[in-house]
Amino acid sequence: MVDRGRKPSALASTPGLPPQPQVAFSADNSRVTATLPTGESVSVLLYGATVVSWKDKNGDEKLWLSEAAKLDGSKPVRGGIPLVFPVFGTAPGHAQTKELPQHGFARSSRWEFLGKSTSESTPTPTTPAFAATATSAAGAVAAAAADLSVKLDFGLSSSGLSEDARAKWPYAFNAIYSVTLNTDSLTTNLVITNDDERSWECQMLMHTYLRVNDITSVSIHGLENASFVDKTTSPISTSTQITSALTISSETDRVYTPAGDDPASIPITVFEGDQPKYTVLRDNLANVVVWNPWIEKAQGMADFEPKDGYKNMLCVEPGAVATWQVLEPGDALEGAQTIVLGGKQN
């Protein structure tokens, strides 16, 4: 259900209901934070609808955020999960987006919070959760609470853009962005609708900064035989991933298209040592950008702190960026990622 600002207090304390996810705004209304009864949390800035924090039940942060990131709306956030739309990078040769700044305007526009919704999966007599808690009503409530999820919805339309953005990209659109927190995963889903009388082309990407302990012990699986564009070479080159695992030992900026008839169906798993740390599942996003600035580039970015922070981050970015997505009037483009803790796959 959509949360109401003035719901009756009795609704929150109805006997027998499991604890509910809590949603709160910051004092300046610049961000919204959702917390599950089991302790997991996610925080989203309205500026850019940028996810800036995702913590597990122990309070351990799963996303990397630069200590110098600007969170006041003065520039796009360095870290978390910025949104890329309608252009990936810059496209000086593309007529419709050539005037736009790098990665477009989604990450630098203020989004509207549309509300929250919650769901739960109730244990049944055939589930372990039920068997473990059937002797206690309080235990059954706790089990139901552990299965709760919370979804936060955000909206942006062409009418909400700055005058500068509208002048550079004069097309009517509507965007709905949903961030869903579960006990062991985070899902981000973006739907873009063409509300114009003209067709237009776009790209979209979720620029996810994953937190790792030591980049030198990280390996990325799921990219074997994938073609990729290497943006660190001059001129930019195209190649194929031969090894079963990608490791990072220098500046890395690659746009992968996983092998197979359905590239978006290939899970991408990030290991630290021999332990799976994250599994990234994609829906309708055929490409995966892998990025780490390494030493020299990190030094040259004013908002990248600490300068050795490249050791503790890895960008694995699901997107539709290898080609242009054409939206006819009334058409919609949807893409989603689910980041699962560990090696689990939904």
198-232 tens-digit pLDDT = 999 999 999 999 999 999 999 999 999 999 999 99
Q: Please report which confidence band the pLDDT of residue 316 belongs to, taking 50, 70 and 90 as the band edges.
A: very high
| DSSP-assigned states of every residue in 63-80 | B-B-TT---SSSS--SBS
207 is catalytic: yes
Do 340 and 185 form a contact (C-beta atoms < 8 A)?
yes
Consult the annotation and say whether 78 binds a ligand. yes
Q: What ranges do the domains of the chain cover?
A: 9-341
Which listed residue (112, 201, 305, 317) is catalytic?
Answer: 317
Q: What is the pLDDT of residue 15?
A: 58
- The whole-angstrom separation of Cα 343 and Cα 60 is 18
Rounded CA-CA distance 230/290 in Å is: 10
CATH topology of domain 9-341: Beta-galactosidase; Chain A, domain 5 (2.70.98)
* pTM (global) more than 0.85: yes
Number of H helices, E strands in the chain: 5, 21
Eight-state DSSP code of residue 19: P
- Paired sense of beta strands 245-247 and 275-283, if any: unpaired
Residue 267 is predicted with a pLDDT of: 97
Is 6 annotated as contributing to ligand binding? no
305 catalytic? Reply is no
3 state DSSP class of 94: coil
- Widest pairwise Cα distance in the chain: 67
The Cα–Cα gap between 280 and 210 comes to 11
Please report the DSSP string for 131-161 in residue order: HHHTT-HHHHHHHHHHT-EEEEEEEEEGGGS
Are the C-beta atoms of 251 and 293 separated by less than 8 Å? Answer: yes
Residue 254 marked as a ligand binder: no
- My answer on whether omega of the bond before 86 falls inside 30° of 0, hence cis, is yes
Active-site annotation holder among 40, 207, 251, 328: 207
Helices (H), the chain: 9-12, 128-133, 137-146, 163-168, 294-300
| pLDDT, tens digit, 9 for 90 and up, residues 85-122 | 999 999 999 999 999 999 999 999 999 999 999 986 43
135-192 tens-digit pLDDT: 344 444 444 455 789 999 999 999 999 999 999 999 999 999 999 999 999 999 999 9
